[in-house]
Every structure is written in C-alpha cells, then in structure tokens.
Amino acid sequence: MIVLPPAGGSKPAQPLAPATPDTPAIAAPAAPQPPQVARCDAGGCWDSSGQRLNRAGNQLVNPQGGLCTQQGTVLSCP
C-alpha cells in the first residue's frame, strides 16, 4: 500500500489552540435598589419609585397597608 501526501502542499497541520478553561461568565443582573424617601410633607412621604407612603404617627404606611421602616433615606416596606 502506498500513502500519498495530501494535495495542495506538504505543510504539516497546525495543532489547534487550547481552549480557554474559564469562559467569562455573564454577570447576573444587579439587585434592585430599595426605595428611598424622595420628599415628605405633613401627611407622609413619596418614595423614589413614585409611591405615596402615608404617615401614621411616627410610621410610614405603604398603599398595601404594610408598615415601612426607614433607615436614613432607605425604606424597607413589606
């Protein structure tokens, strides 16, 4: 049996470049920022998302009736 070199030249085949072990991962979307107090009046406050929070004593109440806690300008509403 006679084996002939491939047609088109006698250049040896180049080895493939090694695959990168770690491909860059797509970053997960950032967690949404908690609402913040934008401005207040005697009856309550508006938050950064445009929601009205009514004042009940020292507390702010969201439209669903949940009490919000305020730490600085950051709100935490259930």
Left if phi > 0, otherwise alpha if psi is -120 to 50, otherwise beta: which for 32? beta
Q: What is the pLDDT of residues 15-73, one digit of tens each?
A: 666 666 666 678 888 888 888 999 999 999 999 989 999 999 888 999 999 999 888 88
Residue 8 predicted with pLDDT over 70? no
Higher pLDDT, 73 or 4: 73
Q: Are 51 and 62 in contact (CB under 8 A)?
A: yes
Query: Which residue type does 10 have?
Result: S
Give the list of residues 6+ apart from residue 26 with CB closer than 8 angstroms, or none: none
- Alpha-carbon distance values, 17 to 14, 21, 34, 48 (Å): 9, 12, 47, 51
